[in-house]
Chain A
């Protein structure tokens, strides 16, 4: 008797508890959400719209209603909460740090849902295809823009009142514009009007780090990189670190070298040129010259391993992302703070050093029911005062005046190099929704070449053939 009663009570408690937790009405909401009552007591105003419980993403918006929601977005109705899908890691540190300020100022609570890089992409694809209103704002890596731009998953931002600011480099707006304002445009997108769909909140450009305590003069060219690396290369102290793990990592590491050598993946007409002479020179430079002074087994090294090697003083130089700098190389646990310097990507035989963008953008999903409020948040995020606080709290800014601020530059020694990188117009990855497949093909073969299981020329030819097949199957005029 006692057993059955207890079972019944526990069942009821758990199921009711689970259901309540699903409605979002539970008192123990995520820490990043400030309850409206708390905001009120802090001097903010609490809108009388829906409660956080009513804003549950579980109330999936049918597709027909979504467009109405989109239209309603411009009405200026103030929600009590905005839900932001963000990437987990150092890229979202600044966003989380300034979120309470926005909540205190406007009364709009921000729920920041963090997902790891690959899962964020999958979750966004899934959510957008379902036309679900789970997220009011999403963080996008810029190579995802072709996919979401082509699919029409995002709301144009200019009709929501977002204007271009001269203090932000034009390339930062261009990377958030779809179809792309320069470079080859996918055939299906040629006739579409250009729209601003995303605003950069993490100014991410691949740069170069080296131990300036060992070699005071910065390498101006990739030849200098090789010469300096050979001079510093020792056992247990590689002269260069290659981020050579398969697919995205090795491609991200290689593209700045490829571009600086005058090579590319596609030409202006989407023809594959990764196997032409300039591109092959870049491939050979990576897999022969740089590999000769690199760490053991570069084909298994990813960003976390690379930045750790630099941070503990066990490697001389490498390419690097701002996320690696703030999260590891300049962290409190680093032993090389003050011993390293940051510069834009060195020049190759083309005479130019071309960095690669990996900007994180904020965008508003088409299905968001709070488009105007989401756009208002973007405006606040990018204004000069917020950007200053954002940079002070560990965010990676993109506003020129912030990057050139001497005080902030002292605390963030990479700011100057980042500003220079934006000024010299970094490249973006080819703007096609087929990029993921292309990157996988190229990154698999590059990794195999680095591992020594494929010959450079044969591996690149095979990658080129696979890429041609992918692009032709997708309707591109690729040869």
Chain B
């Protein structure tokens, strides 16, 4: 029996190790490439470990190519998108989950939100471009914030709806009995309890917005509005693919969402497992 169990564990470890390798090797390769010199990348036989590791590609991407401006734009756009999508999501979800409402209205609102998710971005990018130009928002981060908010709203609504529905109404009702009004109960009871869910939804919305490329390419023209992914694709030029700079940009692009997940991992896990065990 013990031998059988040991064999199964060993097999499981081998499978996990292979899966880990498959997932981690591209990330390792990205980091290794980002540390290599151009001469090393030119060589016919690729090296697994950088021979003379250097941070020069990071310096080149952020400062020589001035992509730090695009990074700043990305952080602003994604941060504002996340907060706006969560705020609107709350406005939609609060009445659905906390107030008396007909089932038909509730279902229609949720279905409408879901229908937005099925809208292919490519189908609306041209009319959206016309609207943005008409509003004088072309090449402004605000245009991207509005577009990203719209496309992430279904996600925000459906996730928040799930989290809010899990918080017992009795807690708020107890606050009402103690004299709290609806706003006070929302601030002091509902919002703190929903924090793990908000963080989980926020990080996922941020990650979606962070990697968006199509709208950022179409709706911006200069570094005033461009985001980081638009800059990264510029490293494939007509006569050269600047591999080490591109890999450095990839590492930078990974770092920010990764740091967010690591810093808030407790809340993310708590949020994603929120309501897994339901007591009836």
**Which A residues lie at the B interface, using CB under 8 A?**
1, 3-4, 7, 10-11, 14-15, 17-19, 21-24, 26, 28-32, 56-60, 83, 85, 87-91, 111, 113-117, 119, 123, 126-127, 130, 132, 134-135, 303-304, 307-308, 311-312, 314, 321, 323-324, 327-328, 331, 333
Contact = CB atoms under 8 A, between A and B. Distances in A.
Given A32-B66, A113-B222, A7 B83 contact: yes
Contacts of B69: 28-30
Contacts of B72: 21, 28
Contacts of B129: 126, 130
Contact of B139 (A15, A56, A114): A56
Interface string B230-264: 00011111111100000000000000000000000
Interface in B82-128: 83-84, 86-87
30 contacts: A10-B83, A11-B80, A14-B79, A14-B80, A15-B145, A17-B76, A18-B73, A18-B141, A18-B142, A21-B72, A21-B73, A28-B72, A29-B223, A30-B66, A58-B140, A58-B225, A90-B237, A90-B239, A111-B223, A116-B233, A119-B234, A123-B221, A126-B129, A127-B221, A130-B138, A132-B133, A134-B139, A134-B222, A304-B241, A328-B239
Interface stretch (B5-13, B27-35, B36-44, B162-170): B36-44
Interface in B147-174: none
A3 B195 contact: yes
Contacts of A113: 221-223
A15 B80 contact: yes
A31 B62 CA distance: 11
Q: Secondary structure of the B side of the interface?
A: helix
Contacts of B218: 126
B272 interface: no
Given A59-B136, A88-B235, 7 more contacts: A3-B191, A10-B83, A15-B145, A22-B139, A31-B66, A58-B137, A89-B238
A279 B86 CA distance: 63
A135 B224 CA distance: 13
Contact of B237 (A59, A60, A116): A116
B187 interface: yes
B203 interface: no
Contacts of A333: 37-39, 42
A60 B138 contact: yes
Given A134-B221, A308-B42, A58 B239 contact: no
Contact of B240 (A10, A89, A123): A89
Contact of B83 (A14, A23, A60, A132): A14
A7 B240 CA distance: 44
B269 to A, nearest CB: 19
Contacts of B239: 89-90, 303-304, 307, 321, 323-324, 327-328
Contacts of B54: none
A127 B218 CA distance: 10
Contacts of B76: 14, 17-18, 21
B237 A119 contact: no
B239 to A, nearest CB: 4
Q: Which 3 A-B pairs have the closest CB atoms?
A: A22-B140, A89-B237, A14-B80
Contact of B238 (A7, A57, A123, A303): A303
Contacts of B43: 312
